[in-house]
Amino acid sequence: MAMAIRARVLLLFAVFFSFSYLTFSLYQDQVSLMDWHQQYIGKVKHAVFHTQKAGRKRVVVSTEENVIASLDLRHGEIFWRHVLGANDTIDEIDIAIGKYVITLSSGGNILRAWNLPDGQMVWESILPGSTASRSILSIPTNLRVGKDDLIFVYGSGNLYAFSSIDGEVLWKKDLASEGIDVQQLIHPHGSNTVYALGFIGSLHFGTFEINVKNGELLKHDKVAFSGGFCGDISFLKSDIAVALDSTRSVLVTIQFKEGEISFQQAHISDIVPDSSGVAAILPSKLTEMVAVKVKKSIIFIKLTNEGKFVVMEKVDHTAIVSASLSISESEQSVALIQRRDSKIQLTVKLVSDWSSNLIKETIEMDCQRGLAHKIFLNNYIRTDRSSGFRALIVMEDHSLILVQQGKIVWSREDGLASITDVTTSELPVEKDGVSVAKVEHSLFEWLKGHVLKLKGTLMLATPDDVAAIQRLRLQSSEKNKMTRDHNGFRKLIIVLTRAGKLFALHTGDGRIVWSVLLNSLRKSETCEAPNVLKLQQWQVPHHHAMDENPSIFVLGRCGPSIDAPGVYSIVDAYTGKELNSLGPFHSISQVIPLPYTDTKEQRLHLLIDAEWRAHLYPRSSEALAIFQRELGNTYWYSVEADNGILRGHAAKENCVLQVPDEYCFDTRDLWSIVFPSESEKIIGTATRKLNEVVHTQAKLLADQDVMYKYISKNLLFVVTVAPKAAGDIGSVTPDESWLVVYLVDTITGRILHRMTHYGSQGPVHVVFSENWVVYHYFNLRAHRYEMSVIEIYDQSRADNKDVLKLILGKHNLTSPISSYSRPEAVTKQQSYFFTHSVKTIATTSTAKGITSKQLLIGTVGDQVLALDKRFLDPRRTLNPTQAEKEEGIIPLTDSLPVIPQSYITHALKVEGLRGIVTVPAKLESTTLVFAHGVDLFFIRLAPSKTYDSLTEDFSYALLLLTIVALVVAIFVTWILSERKELQEKWR
């Protein structure tokens, strides 16, 4: 009878858990509860308006992120969007016959036609050629629907004629062999001739007359100019151009009519007496006018009918000019933007009457957007039949703004499409002066909250209880509050963009909390070409210093080269206020965050310059004292991929400089590894995260044996490839290609492990965590992608497995572990086939490192796949023993599974995916995942389910009913069993 009772109880438990298991699934209405997705396009470089009366008013744009998109002119929303490949740079776009978007990309090698309403591709044509040249797209304005008209394209040194219906190449003319650098294509309306105009060498200007029907060269002329040309040119009319001579001080008028080419020249100093110096012609497409930049001024110069230059206006060099816009058959208008403190001034002028302004508006502009970089003008007809104008403005921070009637209609923060680095920051506590420990919920408060929810479910709550329940629900639902929560879900994601702007995003819904355009990373006289470099934690106050705000360390360079001067800024993580900035100063080739902080919780950093000197920051006496005390324990390494050299470094005495600097230290080389250039080329390295938490160093095996993980933050993973195989996949045969992977100790330079993958090729994507490395590459022999795993263990600690020694106290547990003591490293490795190409790999991270690991794989389809690390266990066998099965080892298969439900991005795409960042929450089961590319995606992930908390939609009523049912069942069965036993005794 007791067995029957237990069977019934187990059955009821099984029924209960079968219902509760459904709560682990993700339903459609649960999407966006714990995640968010944002779409962007990037910095706009071309824009074409489509504002016909029929259909939606839109603007078609192309961006620096290789995106082509159609935007709603009313709200700025995306109608449709296509993200092209990383190397498929968009050169030109235009709209043909009001229904097709024509794009030219990849250096003039790919021509596509897209359907304007929905963005579907209509046709695509590949233009073969490898000659580098300017890309030019010429679409006649009189194209008609249904008629096979011609589209002309110049790219890779060839002139092509395409059919406007199906994109078929009708003819091709090689102009590169003629030595001309084509600058413009001109096809007069109704003419059977197309003209290619440009420079031949640096001394000649040439014209090529080509038959539009068959591509036959009818005539070509060239005339030499004694002063030579520098390459800057602007076409004012169909037969007149203006260029600069080789000294950039003379404007040359070029006239070409009926094969006759003539030159006229005028010194800029004669045209504008107050201007002198090197000039440049702005690329703005103006009609009958040229914009010339001289030093800090932009000069608008008009060419009169008599062939003379007349200065129309002189403005500040920060002004931006639009291309000419036709508002009638004979009138052209131009827009001009100038910055006025916190405002911008938009002026629209007539080219024929420059003194009068069609509009002159002043618009309030956020100073954190910086200067205007580009402007695209469009006109419309007002109700009174006059011309109105709207302007699409691209700002310095890459944001996009539409201005109309003196107001900002909408704006887009498209700088977020070019994130270069990511870090996170905690939010402030709920009450000032209260430590985090007091704000966090205790176990009693947690139980009290669940009791209140249970009373509310059973309708037993008093009015006070109802108010308390409402407060709890309000707190739990306010995932967007600007204070910390006890689970650590609410944080600030701080991102640095290519424009040098910092954004703080709230993890609750992805909204922008603050943004700041850093002055140190803006173009200036002292920093002509700023480049963002790195984002680091600078100050992270502990619980006892809650009056201090955390701060961020932002580094950059004044140029693309490694020896360019460096700059930095320190920014308050709560407010976005720039606390300090410095630069330009010494170059920055490497950033070394040190594991030391001063009394203000500022983290020490070493900035290594191009001459291998180490500079200490912060520059304070306390930081200097700390560093000098730890000088003997400070090591770092450098990778010279081009030379195939790894080096280990350490700091020594102060630098010997003309101006003494106590914060500068010379360095010494400790070791070096030189890879033979004829057989190996470095293509990738990886190390562990400095802040990674490892729960235990011991791994218990199925046979009760213990293996100790080789956990060292000084371990470096290096991968090399055969030099011939450094190109694209398939560029070499399997016999000519191999991958070699190394595990190197960066303190001693000792190679702990080396393995060769013959017949394999990159690119290689790596993730390094705890004592294991997982890397992805291509197997040329199998014609499939592979993923390999290496785990490394420390056998020198095998004596610690002797429990008797531990009891007797014979273990020397206090002996220091040093990289200089030769380790007995043991490695285990295994390789598996994998279905997808990979863009990036990351791994989940939790607060204590207890939760199971998952690999987060960014696929070529711009989605993120979560793969359990157990599938990449090198100890997997075909027939695991029962003990190994209990340990969790999965039977060996040749390929890794791709389960559709494992895509954490669901059905969404993170277009242009570049990176995945994981941050642990305070709740051990949960990790926060942020994926960025052109789009942004955030989600809370629980690799081992939420074993340490109940879900927000947990059914307390079902739990209570189940408990009551179990109790009733126990009593009923007990009574029945007692009755039956009594009856049997009376027999």
> Do 744 and 728 contact (CB within 8 A), yes or no?
no
* pLDDT value at residue 825: 83
Q: Is there a domain that residue 883 lies in?
A: no
805 pLDDT exceeds 70?
no
Q: Of the ranges 128-137, 430-439, 471-480, 891-900, which one carries the lowest mean pLDDT score?
A: 430-439
User: Predicted confidence band at 6 (pLDDT cuts at 50, 70, 90)?
Assistant: very low
612 belongs to a structural domain: no
Q: How many CB atoms lie within 10 A of CB 801?
A: 14
Residue 393 has pLDDT above 80, yes or no: yes
For the whole model, what pTM was predicted? Answer: 0.86
- Range scoring the smallest mean pLDDT among 287-301, 754-768, 791-805: 791-805
Structure tokens at 824: 């007995």
Asked, for residue 567, whether it belongs to a domain, the answer is no
- In this predicted structure, the answer to whether residue 755 has a pLDDT above a threshold of 50 is yes
Which residues sit opposite 250 in a β-bridge? 267
Residue 443's pLDDT is what?
55
Model confidence at 815: pLDDT above 60 = no
* Residue 609 predicted with pLDDT over 70: yes
- pLDDT above 50 (res 436): no
| Stretch among 372-376, 547-551, 621-625, 842-846 having the lowest mean pLDDT | 547-551
In the chain, the number of structural domains is 2
pLDDT in tens, 19-51: 333 333 444 444 556 789 999 999 999 999 988
Q: What is the pLDDT of residues 734-750, one digit of tens each?
A: 988 999 999 999 999 99
Alpha-carbon separation of residue 845 from 67, 334, 389, 925 (angstroms)? 33, 55, 52, 10
pLDDT at residue 143, rounded to an integer: 63
Domain that holds residue 978: 955-987
Query: Is the model's pLDDT at 573 over the cut of 50?
Result: yes
The pLDDT tens digits for 139-198 are 877 666 656 678 889 988 889 888 888 888 888 888 888 888 888 888 887 788 888 888
Q: How confident is the model at residue 701 (pLDDT cuts 50, 70, 90)?
A: confident
Query: Given pLDDT bands bounded at 50, 70 and 90, which one contains residue 470?
Result: low
Residue 20 is predicted with a pLDDT of 37
d(CA 512, CA 38): 12
Identify the band that residue 983 occupies on the pLDDT scale cut at 50, 70 and 90: confident
* pLDDT tens profile 265-296: 888 888 887 777 788 888 878 888 888 888 88
User: What mean pLDDT do residues 642-647 have?
Assistant: 92
Cα 6–chain centre separation: 57
Rounded-to-integer distance, Cα 496 and Cα 241, Å: 42
Band (437; pLDDT cuts 50, 70, 90): very low
Tell me whether residue 465 is in a domain.
yes
Structural domain includes residue 964: yes
> Per the domain annotation, does 967 fall within a domain?
yes
- Considering the domain boundaries, does residue 441 fall inside one? yes
State the Rg of the chain over Cα.
34
Pick the residue with more confidence: 543 or 869? Answer: 869
| Residue 507 amino acid letter | T
pLDDT tens digit sequence for 497-546:
999 999 999 998 899 999 999 988 988 888 888 999 999 999 988 755 55
Give the relative orientation of helices 443-457 and 956-986 as an angle to the nearest 10 degrees.
80
pLDDT for 25 equals: 43
Cα separation, 397 vs 411, in Å, equals 12
Q: What's the pLDDT at 138? A: 87
What residues form DSSP beta bridges with 103?
A: 93, 112
| 600, pLDDT greater than 80 | yes
pLDDT tens profile 827-840: 999 999 998 899 99
Q: How confident is the model at residue 915 (pLDDT cuts 50, 70, 90)?
A: very high
The mean of the pLDDT values for the chain is: 84
Point out the domain boundary residue: 480, 514, 542: 480
Cite the beta strand spans of 90-228 per DSSP E.
90-96, 100-105, 110-115, 121-126, 136-138, 150-155, 158-163, 169-174, 180-186, 193-200, 204-211, 217-224
Q: Which of 444, 464, 480 marks a domain boundary?
A: 480
Band the pLDDT of 316: cuts 50, 70, 90.
confident
Confidence of residue 476 (pLDDT cuts 50, 70, 90): low
Write phi, then psi, for 966 (nearest 5 degrees).
-65, -45
Sign of CA pseudo-dihedral 474, 475, 479, 483: positive
3-class DSSP string for 39-103: CCCCCEEEEEEECCCCCCCEEEEEECCCEEEEEECCCCCEEEEEECCCCCCEEEEEEECCCEEEE
Residue with the larger pLDDT of the pair 391 and 730:
391
Give the model's pLDDT for residue 410: 94
The Cα–Cα gap between 402 and 622 comes to 51
* 335 has pLDDT over 50: yes
Question: What is the predicted pLDDT for the residue at 583?
Answer: 78
pLDDT of residue 52: 74
Coil vs helix vs strand at 975: helix
Residue 871, token pair as written in the block = 């599938």
H or E element: which one contains 885?
helix 882-887
Closest to 334 in 3D by CA, of 359, 297, 310: 359
Report the pLDDT value the prediction gives residue 817, as an integer from 0 to 100.
63
Residue pLDDT, tens place only, 659-675: 888 999 999 999 999 99
262 vs 949 pLDDT, higher one: 262
Confidence of residue 951 (pLDDT cuts 50, 70, 90): low
Q: How far apart are CA 253 and CA 307, in angstroms?
A: 8
Among 460, 480, 500, residue at a domain's last position: 480
| 960 lies in some domain | yes
The residue assigned the tokens 């960025």 is 932
